[in-house]
Amino acid sequence: MKKRMMVVALVCLSMLLLSSIAGCAKNKDTSQVDASKKKVKIGIVQIVEHPSLNTIRESFVKQLKEKGFEDGVNATIDYQNAQGDQTNLKTICQKFVNNKYDLIVAIATPSAQAAVGETSEIPIVFSACTDPLGSGLVTNLEKPGKNVTGTSDAVSAEKIMELAKRITPNITTVGALYNSSETNSISVINNLKTYAKANGMQVVEATVTNSSEVQQATTALVGKVDAIFSPIDNTVASAMPTVVQVTNKAKIPVYVGADSMVKDGGLATYGINYTILGQETANMAAEILNGKKPGDISVKTMKDMDIYVNKDTAQAIGITIPDQVLKEALKVFGN
């Protein structure tokens, strides 16, 4: 027992030490890079480790190389993750600005908001911001004007609900499960409400503020709704396994906003292809690095959406996904 505790203690300590050493080493790297002025310096800031966001970043780096900017060759890409902590975002963006980076790539809305708050000069390209207007990143989608532009991952609640009706036609009441303090969720939920009103559906809301509340919020919807809808909501996404546990038992279909949420057990989505989103973001970045002003590049909303379904979940809740939907689907999760 004692030995085990000692081991845990040592592991914790060494981790702390390692992390501080790693931090120092990184700082040295960047200062060395400062000396060689030929490379363009790109800072990527990401709010949290998340499958969809990681896909965007990886695809961005790949596409940027295609466009002639390769990390370590003629570009330095400094990737920083805030690990879910909003205050880290500010520190990261400050570092980018202080070191006079040529471009900041901000992945997800909070990152973008932090970057915009730090600089009005260094070009910022955001990605995966659902509502760039509502979250105050730009004032005009067509002609942003200032140093900011990017790609939006707005999903259409309408499109998802249409898909829902193809899979489970008898939906009259839909439960909206989301975090009421995430701005990107609210715009999608408003979209859902408009759709529901027009189509004679009822919306029952269940809001959460923390992943620990998700189970009870989901359970409260059981017996009241025919289906549950959840937008690209970070809180619900992180508690997706719990949602699925409840809904599978209650045999309720869950329609979600992102492919990663389908992978974690959501029934289906009509959603963003994050690889393409990353590519589009890289294209914009390349244009800017080649001299174009961000203010002249309009914000891009993804038109090409794809169907993702989860066969395991379908089986668990006892429904069959129409063959046509399976054919159209970009990816079918499960066996």
Q: How far is the CB of 246 from another protein (least distance, A)?
A: 7
Site for another protein in 288-317 (CB under 8 A): none
Return the closest-CA partner of residue 301 out of 322, 324, 284, 321.
Answer: 284
Query: Can you tell me which of 92, 196, 232, 239 binds another protein, judged by CB under 8 A?
Result: 239
Query: Can you tell me which of 63, 109, 151, 207 binds another protein, judged by CB under 8 A?
Result: 207
Q: Is 223 in the site for another protein (CB under 8 A)?
A: yes
Q: Is 86 in the site for another protein (CB under 8 A)?
A: no
Candidates 11-19, 101-109, 111-119, 314-322: pick the segment binding another protein (CB under 8 A): 11-19
Structure token pair of residue 243:
């949602």
Query: Can you tell me which of 161, 196, 228, 240 binds another protein, judged by CB under 8 A?
Result: 240
Q: How many residues contact another protein, by CB under 8 A?
A: 49
Decide if 159 contacts 270 (C-beta within 8 A). Answer: yes
Q: Is 265 in the site for another protein (CB under 8 A)?
A: yes
Query: Can you tell me which of 45, 48, 164, 225 binds another protein, judged by CB under 8 A?
Result: 48
Decide if 136 contacts 238 (C-beta within 8 A). Answer: no
Given the structure tokens 């619900």, which residue do they identify? 236
Q: How far is the CB of 44 from another protein (least distance, A)?
A: 16
Q: Is 77 in the site for another protein (CB under 8 A)?
A: no
Q: Strands of the chain (E only): list them.
A: 40-46, 75-81, 103-107, 124-127, 148-152, 173-179, 202-208, 227-230, 254-256, 268-272, 300-301, 305-310, 331-333
Candidates 77-85, 105-113, 225-233, 284-292: pick the segment binding another protein (CB under 8 A): 77-85
Residue 333 CA to residue 335 CA, distance in Å, equals 7
β-bridge partners, 125? 105, 149
**Residues with Cβ < 8 Å from 228, sequence gap 6 or more?**
174, 175, 176, 177, 218, 221, 243, 247, 252, 253, 254, 255
Query: Which spans of this chain sit near another protein (rule: CB under 8 A)?
Result: 1, 4-5, 8-9, 12, 15-16, 19, 48-50, 81, 83-85, 179-181, 204-213, 215-217, 219-220, 222-223, 237-242, 244-246, 249-250, 264-265
